[in-house]
Amino acid sequence: MYLDYAATTPLDERVMEEMLPYFSRIFGNPSSGHFFGQQAEAGIENAREIICACTGLGTKEVLFTSGGSESDNLAIRGVGLAQFENSGANRILTTPVEHHAVLNTVLQLARFFGFVVEFLPVDSYGMVDIDDLRAALGTDVALVSVIYANNEIGTINPVQEIGRLCREREIPFHTDAVQAAPYLSLEGITSYADLVSIGAHKFYGPKGVGALFLREGVQILPTQTGGGQEFGLRAGTENTPYIVGMAAAFKLAQDEVHVRAAKLKSLRDRVIAGVLGSVPNSRLTGHPEMRLPNHASFAFRDVDGNQLVMLLDAAGFACSSGSACKVGDPKPSDVLEAIGLSTGWVYGSLRVTVGLRTTIDDIERFLGILPGLVDKARTL
Ligand SMILES: *Cc1c(COP(=O)(O)O)cnc(C)c1O
């Protein structure tokens, strides 16, 4: 039973149907001037228009990339370097609960390019406080990057407020919306965010494709140089079938966003109530209300989360511990440390993320087996 939809989702059959012609019949290089190239280019421009129609973006504000990680890299490195070149601004404000695609990019900018990275504090739910941001902003800030919805603990940040504050001061604001895009509406997002990362495989699209929304007027350097594709901002022959698939998946997700969210929220709430009610010494991680509708995450005292995930796997349930470490080399995740979990709890994380194929029967079976497995993990 798959309960790890925050890690990835299966490809929607309808999306695959849309993609198939672009692997064979419509195979041209979109940069070619002839008929074959024109056909492929039309597929890409149609995909761009679909995304624009869902979000209100202009067609020059959607860049196709190889996924959420690349979008984060392009946004942060590209805008950081452009801002430094234009104004000398060299401070980057971010949070200690970012995905590694953001974290390791800002750390590289600090180590090799002379940027000063400041981590805004987060509360025990992993949420940024707008007043801390206000106090940290200044004319020497090149970029602010705050995750929209957290992949490990599900917390949703007040990105509208954060974005408006940055906009008043004309400081570019990037948000990693890779987890948000499947279940929250991104309509009008550039009214508060200047740069937005999404990745298709989190919303029932193909792996290896994503987009960066880039508000018109924001200065950015390409990080992948070469040909002039994607308005000269992302070189390389476009992955036409995947781009077509991402747009189809994005439209399905955004058109149905409220229906999907409502369905998943009831499953999620059953998971949360069931786990907290049946497992002693358990707690929810992340915000109780301001959280992704499909996302439940927990800490269990005196449990090794990786061992629990292996026990669950052996019993037929695919969940995540939320920490990237291996069994035998336990190191708590940065996110769980940032929200201040104490030593007894910080290793015992479990993430249960539901999706469109999850049923209430699945959840009841999961809830039936979990308490015994936590007991077992506690004896190991
Ligand atoms: C999955 C994920 C990414 C990385 O996206 P890829 O398309 O897998 O590169 C980045 N940020 C968040 C929050 C994610 O959940």
Distance 200 CA to ligand 1 centre (A): 9
Q: Give 39-77 pLDDT, tens digit per residue.
A: 999 999 999 999 999 999 999 999 999 999 999 999 999
User: Please, which residues have CB within 8 angstroms of residue 322's CB and are 6 or more apart in sequence?
Assistant: 152, 153, 285, 297, 305, 333, 335, 336, 349, 350, 351
CA–CA gap between residue 91 and residue 305 (Å, rounded): 36
Does 17 have pLDDT greater than 90? Answer: yes
Chain centre distance of CA 229: 25
pLDDT of residue 329: 58
Query: Quick one: which atom of ligand 1 is closest to the CA of 207?
Result: 7
**Low-confidence winner among 127-136, 151-160, 309-318, 335-344 (lowest mean pLDDT):** 335-344
Of 178, 364, 181, 350, nearest in space to 267 by CA: 364
Q: Give 78-92 pLDDT, tens digit per residue.
A: 999 999 999 999 999
Q: Give 142-196 pLDDT, tens digit per residue.
A: 999 999 999 999 999 999 999 999 999 999 999 999 999 999 999 999 999 999 9
20, 209, 244, 245, 364 from 16: Cα distances, Å: 6, 14, 10, 7, 31
Distance 70 CA to ligand 1 centre (A): 9
Distance 38 CA to ligand 1 centre (A): 31
Give me the percent of the chain exceeding a pLDDT of 90. Answer: 96
CA–CA gap between residue 317 and residue 362 (Å, rounded): 10
User: Which residue has its alpha carbon closest to ligand 1 atom 10?
Assistant: 68
User: Which residue has its alpha carbon closest to ligand 1 atom 14?
Assistant: 178
pLDDT of residue 325: 46
Amino acid at 185: S
pTM of the model: 0.97
- Angle 231-236-239 (CA atoms, 0-180°, nearest 5)? 100
Ligand 1: lining residues by beta carbon, under 6 Å:
67-69, 72, 99, 101, 147, 151, 176, 178-179, 199, 201-202, 210
Distance 25 CA to ligand 1 centre (A): 31
pLDDT of residue 331: 75
Strand-pairing partners, residue 298, are: 284, 350
Q: What is the CA radius of gyration of the chain?
A: 21
Name the band, by pLDDT with cuts 50, 70 and 90, for residue 333: confident
How does 340-355 read in b/e, with b if 16+ C-beta sit within 10 Å?
Answer: ebeeebbbbbbbbbbb
**Catalytic residue numbers?**
325
Pocket of ligand 1, candidates 151, 207, 295: which has the most ligand atoms within 8 Å of its Cβ, to mutate?
151
Query: Quick one: which atom of ligand 1 is closest to the CA of 7?
Result: 1
User: Please, which residues have CB within 8 angstroms of residue 112's CB and are 6 or more apart in sequence?
Assistant: none
Calculated CA dihedral for residues 146, 150, 153, 158, nearest 10 degrees: 60
